[in-house]
Structure 1
Amino acid sequence: MIPGIGINLPQDITTIGDAGELRTFATEAEAEGFSSLWVLESSVPGALDPLSVLTFAAAATTRARLGVAILLTGFRPPLQLAREIASLDRLSNGRFTLGVGLGNDPGQYARYGLSVDHRGRHFEAGTALLRRLLGEDRVTSVEPWWQLEDVERPLLPVQSPTPPIWYGARQPAALDRAVRLGDGFIGAGSMTLADFETALGQVRELLDEHGRDPAGFTLAKRVYLHVGEPTTANWDAVRAWFDHEYGKPELADHCAVVGPAEVVAEHLARLRAQGVTELVLHPVVDLTEQRARLARDVVPLLS
């Protein structure tokens, strides 16, 4: 296995054809040595549910960890989500990592019929309750959103007391929440390198402020990338993906890494030098070919 280097699984039905292709991608990625397989939560029509994809991948693999970064937990009742997470942890034999976050689009809450008022407080209370439901035998909650009276834990996960919970964050208040409540911080693929490095500095200050041991707190980063010459055709393909996923093709110019293997490896090495121990490589086009190129041409440059 390649420690600390994972790859994103296909989720868009336009890129994977059928379940067999997804199974092949997962098994080949594990065979190539990627230490973790990842998904994200996408509101784009045609995107498969992240927990369903990971449950499928759990049956197709045996060693690679399985992670979601990030899951928008505010859309899911904590009691039900605790059962789903514990189920995935059991079906993967303790290989699951949960990344949680608020997301960047408040409009998503309205589409789910939820108010955006106090969404930060709602999110924080929900993830704190989720951790209790996973790690405690019985839970009572008097939160305004969820009243639980001596509720028995829905399902015991394999990992004790819970699977690792990482927080996606950008703003100071969210970074503080990540350090107070989380087992790690993961930077979004849409964060620029400069913004991520600034966030890392804030996280380290907060770890000291809250008396957290940095050795027990994971620093991770998702990286949108394409291995290949930075031609107009390659950049156009990458920008088209950002337009489809974010509605902002210009975002690619600020956060995507496009270039030959040496350029991509240099970017990843800089992240590692900043203390990042978990990299989530996320090719945005030509997924199978890019996965093979990353394993063959990029990862060996990092060892």
Structure 2
Amino acid sequence: MSYTNMSYLTPKTVILIGIPGLEHVQFWIGFPFFSLCLVALLGNILLLIIIPTERSLHQPMYIFLAVLAATDLGLCVAIAPKMLAIFWFGSRSMAFDACLTQLFFIHALQGMESGILLAMAFDRYVAICNPLRHASILTSLFLLRVVLMVAIRATTLVGVLPILLKQLHRFHSVVIVHSYCEHMAVVKLAAEDVHMNKSYGLFVAFAILGFDMIFVFISYVLIFRAVFRLPQKEARIKAFNTCTAHIVVFLEFYILAFFSFFSHRFGHVSPYAHILLSTIYLLVPPALNPIVYGVKTKEIRKRVVQIFIPQRDIQK
């Protein structure tokens, strides 16, 4: 049965085809993505166990890291089950309302992740540029307010996207050329004017990702200026080392995010390459973040060893 070249009122279900042009190898592509999800789930669950129970990690940076871990877990849960069902079992159909729900959670969690990275950059800025006031500025109440503001901003701005999509009533297709429900992929199904949807989607992207990236960049300009003014080389290296994990996480998140964003709207990237890259963009950061912070943080490494190698085995 053909699902294209037809006219539909608001559909009850949509069809996700996965990765166009690679349908014959999707079964095998599912395995590396499944491995990424397993690494992300294990790593972020470990962070959520270790950070609350290790008193030395009860600091603003690691509290933000715990929120980031929870966000990454949410992204994996929102994306992986349906994507792997498409790849492995050919389960392509999805209720339209479920598609909009998935779309909301994916983009809202992306927005929250971006906001938490900005909060972590602010923490590093205060710790290096104004260390004597770090404890008085980043209080428990301040951290709670920041997390709530990040969550409210993302859910409020992204929440309008599915509402606008529900206002569309004519569609030329129900086939989504993607492995998950993404805003622009759903917008392209519409057979009526979608300028409002496209414009608001751009606004959300720049209001969250663009805004956060600019202020993270400004934070690091100020941080590097303060670091290079330190008189001793050892002090400069120590100060810079406190930022390296966040810099790595920041770069991999925003580089992948903007490549995916601009290639989908303005680029001439082949569909299968775009979908592979956009899926990698969503699954690599959740898998990589715990590894980066685990490698760079002595307390986390120590607790991971204690969890997997009981103390009595170490003593033997």
Q: Which has the higher strand share?
A: 1
* TM-score normalised by structure 2 residue count: 0.24
Question: Which has the greater radius of gyration?
Answer: 2
Larger RCO (CA within 8 A; separation ≥ 6): 2
* TM-score normalised by structure 1 residue count: 0.25
